[in-house]
Structure 1
Amino acid sequence: MYTENDSRLANQLLTHSVELKKGQKILIQCIGLNAVGLVRALAQQVREIGAHPFLKIEDPEINRMMLESGDEEYWKSQAETDQLPLMKQMDAFIGIRASENIYENSSVSKTANKAYSDHFLNPVHFEERVNHTNWAVLRYPSAAFAMNAKMSTERFRDFYYDSCLFDYNKLKEAMKPLEKMLRATDKIHLKGEGTDIEFSVKGQNWIPCYGKRNIPDGELFSSPILDSVNGHITYAPSVYQGKPFEFVKLVVENGVVTDFDSSNNSALEEILATDEGARRFGEFSFGLNPIIKNPMYDILFDEKITGSNHLTLGKDYEIAPNGNESAIHWDLVCIGADVYFDGELIRKGREFVKDELKVLNPGELLHE
């Protein structure tokens, strides 16, 4: 019916991540059919809690067909008739991304993606789900997923559950000194191979993430002051809107991307042309999951890489705003840059060097 690991993961999602209570309503969305076991475990445990599951199982190929053919009228209808009224009734949401082909949507045009983002994704998910439900999203392991991680299927499956079922309460405590320090910081400077970029976070809100929203988790995020970002930055491999990028390099002046290079410049140019905010940044974060060490073309994992930061193109989060209202939100990850707070070295490469922050290094977090 389902595995013991799926039962453990379902329990963590329901009791720790979304904190589901008796009588509440939860929407469980599964995109892809190979995660049905986890959906079964979730549905059974939701009923055992005394809550009410609403199930939505979707086929990735049908979704791609709808993305390719969808326009503003179609997505407005989908949002207003079906998903927005349903989401407004939900107390919680769990989204399982179980597609086995991360490039499924690579042929979807810029115009079609923008129609979907503007008239479905933003109103249903960014505005309603993110702000008004207890939610969590996650991927699900598969042979294709393991291939992108350059691991055997068995090894990847073990890695997946280890990183998802990590002791997030321990991480929560370990993040507190870094959060305190960040709240007192004005300028952050990242310097490493292909990267030399600086920006202000003065007065910004900081959000520690320890298994409540994204699984696997392990990050501490805010947003940079919109026009304060200056310098250049080089990112690790990424996939966005189904389009692969082996690298992305950006040059930034007063918060705006003025030049760029990548392994797919035509696609990057289209993304940057989405709207005015697409050339600006809406999030900055520290990746802190000690299990995750290398990029694997999946942002829910890659943005948590220990010793990494992501400086995100596009829309901010309402909980840590900076005024960027773009239709895109592209978490691009920079790994191993030295990090300075107001001129003081805080992290050398991937290891924190300040005594009070050494608890965040993998050797400490994984030590029993």
Structure 2
Amino acid sequence: MYSDNDLNLAKQLLTHSVELEEGQNIMIQCIGLNAIGLVRALAKLVREINGHPFIKIEDPETNRMLLETGDEEYWKNQADADQLPLMKKMDAFIGIRASENIFENSSVSKQANKAYSEFFVNPVHFQQRVNHTNWAVLRYPSAAFAMNAKMSTERFRQFYYDACLFDYNKLKEAMLPLEKRLYETDKIQLKSDDTDIEFSVKGQDWIPCYGKRNIPDGELFSSPILDSVNGHITYAPSVYQGKPFEFVKLVVENGVVKDFDSSNNDALEEILDTDEGARRFGEFSFGLNPIIKEPMYDILFDEKITGSNHLTLGNDYEIAPNGNESAIHWDLVCIGANVYLDGELIRNGRLFATEDLMGLNPEELLEV
């Protein structure tokens, strides 16, 4: 019916991540049948506390067909007639991404993706779910997922549960000194052989993430002052809207992407041309999960890579805003750059270098 790992993960999701209480409504969305055991475990535990689960199981190939054929009218009707009224009744949301092909939506056009993002994802998820529910989203392990991570299926499954069931309370405490420093910081600089970029975060809010919204988790994020970003940055491999990128390089002037290079420039240009905000940055974050060390073409894992940062193209988050609005939100990850706060080196490559921050290094976080 479900494994012990599924049951343990379900318990953490419900008690730590979304903190579901008796009598509350929760939507459990599963895209793909691969995670049906986890869905069953969640439904069982929700009912045990007299909660009300609303189960939505979706087929990735059907979703791709709807994405390819959907237009503004279709997605607006889907949001207004079904998902938005239901989401407004939810106290919590758990989204499980169990598709076995991360490139399933690679053929979807720019216009179709924009219609879906603008008229469905934005109102249903960014505006309603993100701002008005306790929510968590996660991937689910599969053989295909293991291939992207270049691991055997068995080894990847263990890695997955290790990363997801990590001691987030220990991480929460270890983040406090970095959070304090960042609230006192004006300029942040990332610098390496292929990256040299600077921006201001003066007066911005910082949000520590320790298993409450994304699983696996482990980041501390805010957003840069909109027009303060200047320099060039090189990112690790990424997949966005089903399209693979082996690398992405951006040149930025006064907060706007002015030049770019990648392994897929036609697709990158389409994404950047989505709207005005797509060439600006809506988030900056530190990746802090000590279990996750290499990119694996999955942003829920890659954005948490220890010793990484993501400087995100597109929409900001209402919880840490900078005024950028866009139909996209692309968490591109830069791994191993030196990090300077107002000129002081606080991370040398992938390891924090000051005494107050060394508790965030993997050997400290994983010490029993």
> TM-score scaled to structure 2, two decimals?
1.00
**Aligned counterparts, 1:1-368, within 5 A:** 1-368=1-368
- Distance, in Å, in 2 between the alignment partners of 1:139 and 1:285 is 20
Deviation string, structure 1 residues 97-120 (Cα, Å, up to 9, x no partner): 000000000000000000000000
- Distance, in Å, in 2 between the alignment partners of 1:147 and 1:327 is 30
- Distance, in Å, in 2 between the alignment partners of 1:156 and 1:49 is 32
What is the one-letter code of the residue matched to 1:183? Y
User: How far off is 1:193 after superposition?
Assistant: 2.2
What is the one-letter code of the residue matched to 2:159? F
- Distance, in Å, in 2 between the alignment partners of 1:193 and 1:169 is 35
Aligned residues, how many? 368
- Distance, in Å, in 1 between the alignment partners of 2:193 and 2:78 is 45
Deviation string, structure 1 residues 208-234 (Cα, Å, up to 9, x no partner): 000000000000000000000000000
What is the one-letter code of the residue matched to 1:29? Q
Deviation string, structure 1 residues 45-94 (Cα, Å, up to 9, x no partner): 00011100000000000000000000000000000000000000000000
Deviating above 4 A after TM superposition, structure 1's stretches of 4 or more consecutive aligned residues are none
- Distance, in Å, in 2 between the alignment partners of 1:247 and 1:257 is 16
Deviation string, structure 1 residues 219-274 (Cα, Å, up to 9, x no partner): 00000000000000000000000000000000000000000000000000000000
- The root-mean-square deviation of aligned C-alpha atoms, in Å, is 0.3
- Distance, in Å, in 2 between the alignment partners of 1:344 and 1:134 is 37
> TM-score scaled to structure 1, two decimals?
1.00
Identity, % of aligned positions:
84
What is the one-letter code of the residue matched to 2:131? N
What is the one-letter code of the residue matched to 1:197? I
Deviation string, structure 1 residues 315-343 (Cα, Å, up to 9, x no partner): 00000000001110000000000000000
What is the one-letter code of the residue matched to 1:53? P
